[in-house]
Structure 1
């Protein structure tokens, strides 16, 4: 009964928020331009339409639509394979300074390896700071190609991303998914990466040995066990991050925000994982219902 009442209260809050957002619609943001939808270049026409529905493209006043291909992968990632298959897609809406990154996976059953926090961590490494990003795929995929699409969207918008940072960000995403496949919970992987990067930002380590010490301290603090091979991957990644041209004083605040978000999620899962999964599904169903009212 208590859970039913909680769901009802959440539903009411959602509907009120939806109505408020609709009444506050200000149209196209002329400061940042149109939202950009990046479709995986290997989608069929039917799959592309399915992704467009998942990303609610029809609900936007106007969008810019582009495609990301294996050729783009080569542009942003060292040793990228131009023959790579690109299915995961994204909608990117730039936001005001200080609003941070808001990531949503619109098709959670179809993005099998990359979590919202993994995307956020990698985007910060790449130099993307303030945006709302929605990711979707029409079938089960890992979700890696969406990150390349996000890079392309930013450059279409006139931003110039540092190719070394985008390459390291891709490496970070690969390490994150490898650690989770090795048995570490996905949220714990995101927490680990964020906390190590926070310490790099605060301590400004001068050597690889300093980075290795930070990694060991955070592994111990978070009680995470890794194989020697995975530890090496993690140290290699963080040493690359140490050497990037990043304003670490600014980065520290952004990472603190991300750390708090991840901590909240972990606490929620620990409290009642099954219940909150039902809440997420409830909201997905409710969103579809409310959207139907306006169609």
Structure 2
């Protein structure tokens, strides 16, 4: 018996050392990954942040945009067939989405586009304006924009004309949402992706374009219409409403919180995944999750910011929606930033597994 006890004590001591080494390794690997990612994000993001700042045209500048329509059109080059070429400085942001041969594109165009502006938008999308009749086309008007967004943002942000447009094509199953934008200021690629996933959109390639820099709210509404035409299914209106609230909340946080835009967007996707996994039962759970996620993504939030996130996540928690698109989008952010969404849960799972194995071994000694 004495020998067995000595043997047991030796095993426990060795096991403790192994356990501490494993724990340190897990924590260290997570820390290194986060530090490396933070460094990469800083290098990749510095210039983009400046560009985004320059593109905030629609917050209070829709009137300014309206007044500059003629100037924007006149400054563009015209081809021999009297159509407009996109300006040279227009750059794609996002996933470099292209309309490929064999795709069946579904378009939603801003109803207030002039003929020249429409040609500019179509060329940015890679669509020949002369072949527009070959596509499934609908139009988004300003009244629809206000119906969707009046309760979320000010009328000045929505503007008085619908100009931003979108083309949607079906992607292979499981590929998620891919987006490219041209001349879109208020809505970032990440904001679009997160919000559209919440609305229930899955496996779609999307191009959002405008004739000059504007907010992109019309294209958001247009995506819902184009996706419905593509799939033949209505999106859940409560989910659509929540997705619009999400994109507005994200935009507000990117103005008020201290952190990189993509980190804020990834943080929200992470929190949504926790809602999808039914991990957040109470308001206290949500607050703790927000606090943990803010630290994880290096975002400093005010109490007002936390309250906005709490309201959004509480609303999402009550929805009966297909969470698979949300989880997929969260994982895409994790892959991009090199952060594991499952760091915390896998860590504790390993602890439980370790002690279970140890207990089974000890029981085996006396059986």
Superposition deviation, residue 252 in structure 1:
6.0
* Structure 2 CA distance for partners of 1:125 and 1:180, relative to 1, 3 Å: same
Q: Secondary structure at the match of 1:137?
A: strand
Larger radius of gyration: 2
* Structure 2 CA distance for partners of 1:42 and 1:184, relative to 1, 3 Å: farther
Q: Secondary structure at the match of 2:263?
A: helix
Superposition deviation, residue 47 in structure 1:
0.9
Superposition deviation, residue 239 in structure 1:
1.1
Superposition deviation, residue 253 in structure 1:
4.1
Structure 1: distance between partners of 2:329 and 2:179: 15
- Identify the residue that residue 117 of structure 2 maps to in structure 1: 47
Structure 1: 5+ residue stretches without partners = 1-20, 29-33, 266-295
Superposition deviation, residue 26 in structure 1:
6.1
- Identify the residue that residue 95 of structure 2 maps to in structure 1: none
- Report 1 or 2 for greater relative contact order, CA contacts < 8 Å, sequence distance ≥ 6: 2
1:215 matched to 2:290:
yes
* Structure 2 CA distance for partners of 1:264 and 1:102, relative to 1, 3 Å: farther
1:255 matched to 2:329:
yes
Are the counterparts in 2 of residues 69 and 86 from structure 1 also a CA contact under 8 Å?
Answer: yes
Structure 2: distance between partners of 1:245 and 1:27: 35
- Identify the residue that residue 191 of structure 1 maps to in structure 2: 266
Aligned ranges for residues 4-153 of structure 1 at < 5 Å? 27=102, 34-58=104-128, 62-73=134-145, 76-77=148-149, 79=151, 84-105=160-181, 107=182, 110-153=183-226
Structure 1: distance between partners of 2:114 and 2:101: 34
Are the counterparts in 1 of residues 176 and 329 from structure 2 also a CA contact under 8 Å?
Answer: no
Are the counterparts in 2 of residues 103 and 116 from structure 1 also a CA contact under 8 Å?
Answer: yes
Structure 2: distance between partners of 1:226 and 1:64: 44
Structure 2: 5+ residue stretches without partners = 1-97, 340-367
Structure 2: distance between partners of 1:239 and 1:230: 14
Structure 1: distance between partners of 2:241 and 2:174: 25
Structure 2: distance between partners of 1:75 and 1:164: 14
